[in-house]
Each structure stands twice: as structure tokens, then as C-alpha cells.
């Protein structure tokens, strides 16, 4: 029974069925979300229209008050008795009273209600000289008289109409409250919910009216919709309150005053209770979703995660780390059996590689022994024969003193013999680096670079870092042969102008770098691909690096040169 529950077919069936369940949940919740968005936009459009209507009505009433006050000032300018004009005027339009001033700022006349605000407020026409409303073409000035923390705000309206040359200039000041402008009646159309709030503010952000009276007299907060309203724009914006609930902020300017009207409300409260409860309808699929999540959790930890760990172990195995596959990855029985198969395969590959390393080491040693034998034979026989031939040529020269042509040919023969001896000695040094045996890696590489630099090829730059030291003979020979192969490849195939050879001695490692600025090539990603591309020299370098457990990296690209780096972790020898 346990095996059936953890079997791969059942797990795959669960994983395939899960997307359908998720799709159903998304459709259910998505439909509710789309309906909420449509409802929110509908409420926002309604609020914007209502706020625009209230702002327009309030603006018209202010314009009517301005026109009335302008007529009073114009009549007073033409009248010999301004008091009569004011006595004939009713206080129904300006319940705070009206006052008339001449061009010198002297009081001409006033109604009985003026004294209270005239003595308690800093309204002086001489101080207001040059102040005008923001809208072009309007001559009225609106000065708010605010009771801090109260919605009993009054507005002082100041007009100075143009007069004829025979009339005197008159400035009229009338005070009217927001109640007198009919603001409470207009705002009744905006109070759509208990959480709705309405704010009336000046163009400087000073709050004249707020549903919460404690905010009257304060400044509007810095918000995008407030900034848009102060720029004369109208519309709606969405924001969250302190509790995270979404608000609709509808705003509109009052034309010709620069004031702004803002309404904020929780749009969700506009929905009917049935609609709010319908949002919980998709919860009927919640049990199925929970079961699916639990099933997926078992699938992830029983299949996916073990497969991921097995994949990582297989990648390490491909990189040559055979111990990684030994760690158990868990999971269902099929995965565990697969890991056992991989472990057996890794064991066989490791044994095969071990045999191959011994075989390559034997071949490499045999190759070095054969080179040593050939070098000795060439030195002991061929070079000695050439030297003897050179001596015989010197003896023969004495018999050709009377024949200039023969002497010339003999001289050319001696030159060719000397060149052959030098070339043969160079070949012997390459086959048997005696400097490596006697002096160590660094002098041997210096001699190798100097011998190659004698030709017509690239210019060779040799550099060393650190304190030179001797290494075990097999390590010195492997490093020398790898560097020799890298230098030879660059010399013959890279078409480079410069070749850099660098040997760095670190406390626990020796790094040999061969770099050129030649044509380069597309370096294969794996060592096994080198044979298919004909890079057999690089294969030999990798094999030698493997024998001494060194790291060999080759970086190359077309027309960007090649860099071969050999890093061998080693200890010095005495």
C-alpha cells in the first residue's frame, strides 16, 4: 500500500490534475475581482460627476455674490450718500455685513454686522492692494475667515469695480458664511455613506470645510489627487487609508476661485450586503485547493526535490566527482532504484578511469623513456658522427687550396654540417630537457622559450613570480611538457605576434600560463569534444594534468587569442 501511494503514476496524475483545479479557482476569484473593479469604476464615475456638479453650483453662487457686491460698490461710487445705498441693502446675501471704503482706505459706510469681523480681522484694503483672484478677468478677492476646528468658516469678498472719471473709487467688502452660500445643502448630494468625507480647500491647500471639523484650518496632505485638483484638474484617484481599506478620492476645482472640492469614501460600502457576501462564494473550492496543495507538497518532496538532488549528483558525476552520487536523495522507490543504478554505473566508470590513468601513466613514462633513449643515441652516435664529418672536412680543405670553387663548396658543406649539429642538439634538448633534471622547472622553461625565440616566429615574453623551488620530478616533467605543448601550438598555429609565458610560484601551488594574441579558436566545452575537433595536443595536456591532479583551463575565441593556464597544487622538495 505504501508503494502504491508513493508510485510515480499516482504522483504524476496528481500533478496533472492540479492545474485544472487552480484554473477553476482563478476563474472564480477572477470573475469576482473583475466585477469589483467594474463596480469601483462605476462608483468613481458617479462621485466625479457629483463633485463636479457641487463644485459648479458653489462656484455659481460665489459668482452671484460677487455680482451683487459689485453692483453695491458701483451704486455707492455714483451716489452722494453711500449710507443710503447700504441702508437700502438687505443682509440676506451677506449675513456678515458689508462695508464700503474710499480710495484712501477710509470707511464710508457699513451695515450693523460689520463691526464684529472688522475689529477682529486684519482686513484692510490698503494691505490688500494688488491682490486678485487667480482667474483672469475677475476683480474679486476672497479672504477666508476660519474658526480653527470648526466649520463656521466665513468668506470676506472684496471688489473694487471700475468707475467713471466723475465717480469716486469705492471698495466693497462683504462677508458671507459657507452656510450662506448653501454649502451644507449642496453637500447632502455627496454624503453617500457614513465613511464619506468632503473637503473644501483654497488653492494654497488651506482647508475651509471638512466633514471632520477638527481638520478645518489645517493644510491638505501631499497626495497625487490633491496636487491634480490644485492644478485645476478633475477626476478620481484610488488610495488606501491607515487601515489598508481602499478609498475613492473624487476631486474637482471651483472655477474662477482656485478652490478645490474633494470627496473620499470607501467604495466597498456602496455595495449591497448580498454582493459583499457573494465574494466568499469561491471559498467553496478552498477544501479542494488545500487538498491539492497538500498533494503537490508530497509530489514536490517525493518526486521533484529528489529528482533535483539526483540531477545535481549526476552533474557532479559527469564532472568526475564520484562521491556525490553516494549521498541518498530520498524520494519514491523508483527514484531510489535509479540512484542505485547510477551508483553502480559510477563505480564501473571510476574503475575504468583508474585503469585508464594507470595505462596513460605507463604510456607517458614509456614515451619519456623512449625520448631519453633516442636523445642519448642521437647525442652519442649521430652528433659524434657529424662532428667527425666536420673534422674530415677541415682536413680536406688543405687539399683544395688551389681550387677556389671546391673550397667554396666545402665551406658551404661545413656550414650545413654545423647547422645540422645545432638543430640536432635543439631536438635533443626538447626530447631530454637536461636543464629540467639539473636545475628545475623555471630554468628549463626559460631555455625552451629562448630556443624558440631564436626563430622568425612571434616575440616571446617570459615572466616569473614568487620564489622558485624544486618540485617532484614527475610533476616538473608534466608541467614542462604541458607548457612545451602550449608554446609549440601557439608558435605553429596561432599566427600571433607576441607570446607570453608566465610561471608563478605560490606557497601551495605552481601556476604556468601560456598566452598569445593570435587567431584563437572555438574552445570545446568538454574534454571529450577535443578529439572530434582534432585538438589531440590538448588531449595530451589534459591527460598529463590529470596524472598530477592539476587543473588545466583553456580560454580561446576567434580572433581573440588563446590562454592556457595550468594550476598544480604541490609541495616543494629538498
Q: Are 533 and 556 in contact (CB under 8 A)?
A: no
- Grid cell of 427 as nine digits: 631536438
Q: Are 66 and 140 in contact (CB under 8 A)?
A: yes
Q: How far is CA 364 from the centre of its chain?
A: 52
Is it the case that residue 528 has pLDDT exceeding 70? no
Separation in Å, CA 66 to CA 135, 156, 257, 508:
14, 11, 11, 95
Delimit the CATH 3.30.565.10 region(s) of the chain.
Answer: 436-574
Q: Which has more confidence, 282 or 87?
A: 87
Q: What is the pLDDT of residue 214?
A: 87
Per-residue model confidence as pLDDT tens digits over 21-33? 666 667 666 766 7
Per-residue model confidence as pLDDT tens digits over 480-498? 888 888 888 888 888 888 8
Of 52, 84, 53, 89, residue with least CA distance to 69: 89
Q: Where are the alpha helices (DSSP H) in 494-567?
A: 536-547
Indicate the fold that domain 436-574 takes in CATH.
Answer: Heat Shock Protein 90 (3.30.565)
Per-residue model confidence as pLDDT tens digits over 388-440? 777 777 777 776 666 777 777 777 787 888 778 777 777 776 666 777 777 88
Q: Are 148 and 126 in contact (CB under 8 A)?
A: no
| Percent of the chain whose predicted confidence (pLDDT) is above 70 | 73
Residue found by looking up cell 477572477 in the block:
30
Reported as a pLDDT band with limits 50, 70 and 90, residue 202 is: confident
5, HSE (Cβ side, Cα atoms, 13 Å): 4
Q: DSSP label at 326?
A: G
Q: How many helices (H) and strands (E) does the chain have?
A: 16, 15
Q: Which has more confidence, 400 or 132?
A: 400
Q: Are 445 and 451 in contact (CB under 8 A)?
A: no
What is the C-alpha separation between 51 and 117, in angstroms, rounded? 31
Reported as a pLDDT band with limits 50, 70 and 90, residue 5 is: very low
Mean pLDDT of the chain: 75
Q: What is the pLDDT of residue 510?
A: 92
Per-residue model confidence as pLDDT tens digits over 324-374? 777 888 877 888 888 888 888 877 877 776 766 666 667 766 776 677 677
Instruction: Tell me the residue length of the chain.
Output: 574
Strand order in the sheet with 98-101: 107-110, 98-101, 171-177, 154-159, 141-145
Q: How far is CA 436 from the centre of its chain?
A: 53
Q: DSSP label at 178?
A: T
Amino acid at each position: 500500500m505504501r508503494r502504491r501511494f508513493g508510485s510515480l503514476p499516482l504522483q504524476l496524475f496528481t500533478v496533472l490534475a492540479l492545474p485544472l483545479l487552480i484554473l477553476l479557482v482563478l476563474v472564480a476569484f477572477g470573475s469576482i475581482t473583475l466585477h469589483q473593479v467594474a463596480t469601483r469604476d462605476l462608483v468613481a464615475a458617479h462621485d466625479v460627476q457629483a463633485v463636479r456638479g457641487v463644485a459648479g453650483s458653489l462656484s455659481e453662487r460665489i459668482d452671484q455674490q460677487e455680482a451683487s457686491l459689485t453692483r453695491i460698490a458701483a451704486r455707492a461710487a455714483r451716489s452722494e450718500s453711500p449710507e443710503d445705498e447700504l441702508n437700502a441693502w438687505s443682509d440676506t446675501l451677506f449675513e456678515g455685513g458689508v462695508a464700503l471704503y474710499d480710495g484712501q482706505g477710509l470707511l464710508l459706510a457699513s451695515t450693523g454686522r460689520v463691526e464684529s469681523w472688522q475689529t477682529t480681522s486684519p482686513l484692510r484694503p490698503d494691505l490688500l492692494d494688488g491682490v486678485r483672484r487667480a482667474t483672469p478677468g475677475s476683480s474679486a478677492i476672497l479672504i477666508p475667515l476660519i474658526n480653527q476646528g470648526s466649520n463656521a468658516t466665513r468668506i470676506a469678498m472684496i471688489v473694487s469695480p471700475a468707475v467713471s472719471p466723475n465717480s469716486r473709487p469705492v471698495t466693497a467688502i462683504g462677508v458671507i458664511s459657507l452656510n450662506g452660500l448653501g454649502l451644507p445643502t449642496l453637500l447632502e448630494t455627496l454624503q453617500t455613506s457614513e465613511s464619506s468625507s468632503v473637503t473644501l480647500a483654497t488653492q494654497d491647500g488651506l482647508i475651509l470645510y471638512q466633514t471632520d471639523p477638527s481638520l478645518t484650518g489645517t493644510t491638505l496632505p501631499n497626495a497625487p489627487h490633491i496636487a491634480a485638483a490644485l492644478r485645476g484638474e478633475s477626476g478620481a484617484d484610488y488610495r488606501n487609508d491607515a487601515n489598508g481599506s481602499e478609498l475613492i478620492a473624487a476631486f474637482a476645482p471651483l472655477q474662477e476661485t482656485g478652490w478645490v472640492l474633494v470627496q473620499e469614501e470607501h467604495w466597498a460600502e456602496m455595495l449591497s450586503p448580498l454582493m459583499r457576501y457573494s465574494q466568499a462564494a469561491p471559498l467553496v473550492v478552498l477544501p479542494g485547493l488545500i487538498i491539492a496543495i497538500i498533494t503537490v507538497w508530497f509530489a514536490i518532496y517525493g518526486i521533484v526535490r529528489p529528482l533535483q538532488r539526483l540531477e545535481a549528483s549526476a552533474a557532479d558525476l559527469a564532472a568526475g566527482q564520484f562521491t556525490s552520487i553516494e549521498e541518498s536523495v530520498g524520494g519514491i522507490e523508483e527514484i531510489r532504484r535509479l540512484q542505485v543504478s547510477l551508483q553502480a554505473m559510477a563505480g564501473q566508470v571510476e574503475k575504468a578511469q583508474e585503469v585508464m590513468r594507470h595505462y596513460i601513466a605507463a604510456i607517458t613514462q614509456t614515451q619519456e623513456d623512449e625520448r631519453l633513449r633516442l636523445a642519448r643515441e642521437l647525442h652519442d652516435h649521430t652528433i659524434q658522427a657529424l662532428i667527425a664529418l666536420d673534422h674530415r672536412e677541415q682536413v680536406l680543405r688543405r687539399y683544395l687550396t688551389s681550387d677556389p670553387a671546391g673550397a667554396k663548396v666545402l665551406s658551404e658543406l661545413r656550414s650545413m654540417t654545423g647547422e645540422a649539429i645545432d638543430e640536432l642538439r635543439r631536438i635533443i634538448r626538447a626530447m631530454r630537457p637536461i636543464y629540467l633534471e639539473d636545475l628545475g622547472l623555471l630554468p628549463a622553461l626559460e631555455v625552451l622559450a629562448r630556443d624558440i625565440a631564436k626563430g622568425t616566429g612571434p616575440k616571446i615574453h617570459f615572466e616569473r613570480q614568487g620564489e622558485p623551488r624544486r618540485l617532484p620530478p614527475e610533476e616538473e616533467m608534466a608541467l614542462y611538457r604541458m607548457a612545451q605543448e602550449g608554446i609549440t601550438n601557439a608558435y605553429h598555429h596561432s599566427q600571433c605576434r607576441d607570446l607570453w609565458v608566465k610561471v608563478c610560484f605560490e606557497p601551495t601551488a605552481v601556476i604556468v600560463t601560456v598566452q598569445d594574441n593570435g587567431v584563437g579558436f572555438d574552445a570545446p566545452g568538454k574534454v571529450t569534444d577535443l578529439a572530434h575537433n582534432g585538438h589531440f595536443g590538448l588531449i595530451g595536456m589534459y591527460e598529463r594534468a590529470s596524472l598530477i591532479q592539476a587543473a588545466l583551463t583553456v580560454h580561446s575565441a576567434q580572433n581573440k587569442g588563446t590562454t592556457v593556464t595550468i594550476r598544480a597544487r604541490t609541495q616543494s622538495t629538498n
